[in-house]
Structure 1
Amino acid sequence: MGTGAPRRDVTIGQQSAGLFERLGLGHSLRRWRRALDSGTLSAAEIRGILSEIRSLRGRLDALSAEAQTALLRRTDAAAATINDIPCDWSGRPGPWNAAMRPRGIVHLPSPTALSTGVTVYHDATRHDLSLRQDMATGGQGDARFGLVLEVYRFDGSFVSFVHDLPAEAIAGLTLNHFIAVDIRAEREQPLEVYARLNVQHGPNVEQMVRQVDFRGESGRAEFDLAYSRINERRIEKAWLDLILEGPEMTRIAIWDVVVMRAPRADV
């Protein structure tokens, strides 16, 4: 009994070290450690090491976000349902899953790319509004981050977050599918939110608009593709707009967004 646990710890350590070596990180870590331990580095050399570490951290953060997205697709797709039908795909857009650079934007121009595949638009000429990414905390959903939009003077009619759906979301997509978007948001005052699904099939774009039905902070919009005129054999791409209608002198914190699809249940 007494000798089993230590051997297991060594095995885990060896596995972790092996992973670092395979990723090419072990050599860099040892080199930085030896250099710092030497006590002979100049300020410029230490700044160089810090720059390398920050660059590596950025790449690791991006890789972590990709891994979490992959895990979400493998776990949440099975757990999530649309009308009690198990989903065959689900995903969380980048700003709710990975750190943005920069984290905050003031006098938000249109368009502004927030991350790969997500862009924000509005139609205002006077737009005193700011957007920032905050770390999510307990009780705000499963996302790592949330987006907080603060609007002051705004002479436009909408602010829209546009999410390009990834290839796996449209692979095998048919008229037999439902698509849904779940949102968790804190609205300072009543604000209508719409979801618009856009599917390009050949030269045509099918658009379906639904108002997000909120129950407290949780909202959902659903699209039944059976009621569309999509040519499923010619689907090229799809994107989803989350539209905030007429925001002014308000704050909305969107703590989570998850897009899902599910096949119609066999009758």
Structure 2
Amino acid sequence: MAAYPGGVFNRIMQRGLNRYWSGTAKHVRDMELGPLKTRRLQARRLRAHLDEVISVADGQLALPVIGSNSFFIPHGTDWSWRPRLWRESLPQKGMVAVESREPLGEEITLFHDCDHSELTLRQLRNTREKDLAPYGLRMDVFGFDGSFLSLVLDMPEAATEGLSRDHVIRMTTIVEMEKPLEIFARLNIKHGPNTEQIIRELPLNKEDISVEFDLAYTKMNEKQFEKAWIDLIFEGPEMNQVILRDLNFSRRLRAEI
């Protein structure tokens, strides 16, 4: 991003311009027609530049702040997280003809069994006024000759620190798609030689989607947690575009009954 020149000279120039136009505004009604036409032309040219600056600045300042980790957190939450892809600009913005097990950033990996990949992934800047996440993820699926397609998100170590079977993990996302399809979220938690899995279907009848994974229904060994990850599984994805405008997680203890 370019920096506008500053310093003493810039401040002196700005004060001079302010005095010039302030004086013009005070005496404009008393000017002769010749000088008045000149001032009008100058003012119109200046206004065009000022309108452009204001328009661009308003648009940029209305965007979600890069790095924002702001989202709804339920009462009692002891851990929350928005993955980097939805929070910060990635060095690699996108990929085409994505092969299976190919990562985008450090946390997201695409898995599929297509013989010929016609899949693209791209990080995009969210520009809608209601978006809280600075970035989103767009997946385009053209031809699809495979039997499965999933995005795997590796969760940080903090997700399993202090984790117990008394916890509920909440996943919230905003999904846009060209045509309806089924999306499932599967939470995987590895403990020792075993992996517990909980699967939820996303309710795609609304844009803001939340699902919860109640760990009470697992047989996890709380002393052997190693790692956790989420699979987003797409059923019937061919000839479709899916945009995940946001993806975030929170963790809380289940309320005692």
TM-score w.r.t. structure 2 length?
0.70
Q: Give 5+ residue unaligned stretches, structure 1.
A: 1-63
CA distance in 2, matches of 1:158, 1:220: 23
Mapped to 2, the partners of 1:237 and 1:130 lie a distance apart of: 28
Deviation at 1:207, TM superposition (A): 1.0
Q: 2:100 aligns with which of 110, 124, 128?
A: 110
Matched, 1:80 2:73: yes
Label 1:116 to 1:140 Cα distance change in 2 as closer, same or farther (>3 A): farther
In the alignment, structure 1 residue 129 sits paired with structure 2 residue 114: no
Whose radius of gyration is greater, 1 or 2?
2
Counterpart CA distance in 1 for 2:168 and 2:232 is 17
Indicate how the Cα distance of structure 1 residues 212 and 117 shifts in structure 2: closer, same or farther if over 3 A, else same: same
- Structure 1 runs of 4+ aligned residues shifted over 3 Å read none
Structure 1 residues 103 and 140, CA gap change in structure 2 (3 angstroms)? farther
Residue among 197, 207, 220 paired with 1:217: 207
Question: Structure 2 vs 1, CA of residues 122 and 140 (structure 1 numbering), >3 Å: closer, same or farther?
Answer: farther
**Does residue 138 of structure 1 match 2:128?**
yes
Residue in structure 2 matching 1:264, options 216, 230, 254: 254
Distance 1:121 1:95 in 2: 17
Q: Distance in 1 between matches of 2:122 and 2:90?
A: 9
Identity of aligned residues (%): 40
SS in 1 for 2:223: helix
Q: 2:92 touches 2:105 (CA, 8 Å); kept in 1?
A: no
Partner residue in 1 for 2:90: 100
Higher share of residues assigned helix = 1
Amino acid at match of 2:200: R
Q: Give, in angstroms, the shift of residue 221 of structure 1.
A: 1.9
- Following superposition, the deviation at residue 266 of structure 1 comes to 2.8
**Aligned residue type for 1:192:** E
Describe how 1:1-267 pairs up with structure 2 within 5 A.
Answer: 68=67, 72=69, 76=71, 79-81=72-74, 85-139=75-129, 141-267=131-257
Judge conservation of contact 1:193–1:243 (CA < 8 Å) in 2: yes
Count of residue pairs brought into register by the alignment: 193
* Pairwise CA distance, 1:140: 5.3
- The runs of 5 or more residues in structure 2 that have no matched partner are 1-64
Residues 257 and 237 (structure 1), Cα distance of their counterparts in 2 relative to 1, 3 Å cut: same
Decide whether the 8 Å contact of 1:140 with 1:184 is kept in 2: no
- 1:193/1:80 CA distance change after superposition, 3 Å: same
Residue 121 of structure 1 and its aligned partner are, at CA, apart by 1.3
Query: Residue by residue, what CA displacement relative to the aligned partner does 1:186-216 show, whole Å, maximum 9, x if unpaired?
Result: 1111111111111111111111111112342
1:246 Cα shift?
2.3
How much has 1:141 moved relative to structure 2? Answer: 2.5
For residue 119 of structure 2, give the secondary structure of its aligned residue in structure 1.
strand
Q: CA deviation at 1:114?
A: 1.1
1:183 CA drift (Å): 0.9
Contact kept in structure 1, 2:187 and 2:230, CA below 8 Å: yes
- Of 235-244 and 118-127, more deviation after overlay is shown by 118-127
